[in-house]
Structure 1
Amino acid sequence: MTLTFTLDPVVDPSLRDGILALWADVSNAGGAVGFVPPVGLDDIRPALDEHLAGVARGGCRLLVAHDEGGEVAATAFLTHNTHRLQLHWVWAYTVMVHPRLQGKGYGRELMAATEAAARSIGNIDAIRLTCRGGHGLERFYASCGYKEVGRVPGGIRVAPGDDRDDVTMLLPLY
């Protein structure tokens, strides 16, 4: 299967619904994208609306991958920093691949497309992202060239008594 990546697509109701469904499917499969299962579309919708408002304002870029059937298969958001001393790097967040596609190399394709998107912005020296410890995500991102540059032990409370590390990863682009 081939994924088609689009940076800054037109956000219409169909795309919005596709991202919403993807986010729910990833979350309910145990993905570390800001929610804990079980989660419904109504739980996720406000977070997606906030993400898309950032896209509409121009401070955030959206990268979407569609599968051969036209379904939203993966996403990553890139956001610019607003502090004048941090304009040289971007954050990647809500990086997700549909569970039916995981383990088949599509995550690496998404990360390569994310890197290409960041490079296309111009004057960007690095991409930073955070991930939830306990999922092996650090190893995945490291295999894509990212380096762990920070860790807050127990920085993410998944549930009472279930704290995970908040891990910061960096990909230099120079």
Structure 2
Amino acid sequence: MDVRFDLDPSVAPGLRDGICALWADVSNAGGAVGFLPPVSPAEIRPDLLTHLTAMAEGRTRLVVGRDADGRVLATAFLTFNGHRLMTHWVWVYTVMVHPSLQGRGTGRRLMAAVAGAARTFEGVSALRLTCRGGTGVHRFYESCGYREVGRVPGAIKLADDDFRDDITMWRELD
């Protein structure tokens, strides 16, 4: 399936609803994007509104992947670091690819679009993200040019007896 990636699309109701639906689909398929299944788009909407508010304030940018019909199939939010000594890098949050497209190269193309977008931001030379241990996703990010630079053991609690590491990944932009 052909997925087109855009930076900072117009935020209309269809885009908002599409991101909520994607976020629910990814979460309910076991994706590590801040929720545990089962979750509904209505439960996700407040977190999305936080991202959209940051976009409206100029603190966050959005890379979105859509098919020819405009269906949202991938996202990543890029948030500028507000600390004056760390403005040379941006956070990458809520990286998602629809479960039906995982393993088909869409995630790799999304991460290339993220890096391409970040290269256009004045003074930005690196990307930073975190991911949940125990999923193997850190290997995917490594294959996209990131390296592990930190790990907090047991920082993520999924259940009373299920704690996961919080892994910090870093990528210098070429």
TM-score for the superposition, normalised by structure 1: 0.98
Q: What corresponds to 2:67 in structure 1?
A: 67
Task: Report the Cα offset of residue 168 of structure 1.
Answer: 0.2
Aligned partners of 1:114 and 1:44: how far apart in 2? 23
The code of the aligned residue for 1:17 comes to D
Q: Distance in 2 between matches of 1:46 and 1:161?
A: 28
Match of 1:132?
A: 132
How is 1:15-94 mapped onto 2 (pairs within 5 angstroms)? 15-94=15-94
Superposition deviation, residue 99 in structure 1: 0.3
Would you identify which runs of 4 or more consecutive aligned residues in structure 1 move more than 3 Å?
none
Please give the alpha-carbon distance, in whole angstroms, between the structure 2 residues aligned to 1:166 and 1:81. Answer: 19
User: Normalization by structure 2: what TM-score?
Assistant: 0.98
SS of 2:23's partner is: helix
Measure the CA separation in 1 of the matches of 2:65 and 2:42: 23
Partner AA of 2:87 in structure 1:
L
SS at match of 1:17: helix
Q: How many residues align?
A: 174
Deviations 1:68-118 (A, max 9, x none): 332000000000011100000000000000000000000000000000011
Matches of 2:117 and 2:71 in 1, distance apart?
A: 21
User: Secondary structure at the residue paired with 1:121?
Assistant: coil
Aligned-partner Cα distance in 1 for 2:153–2:68: 40
Structure 1 unaligned spans of 5+:
none
% same residue: 63
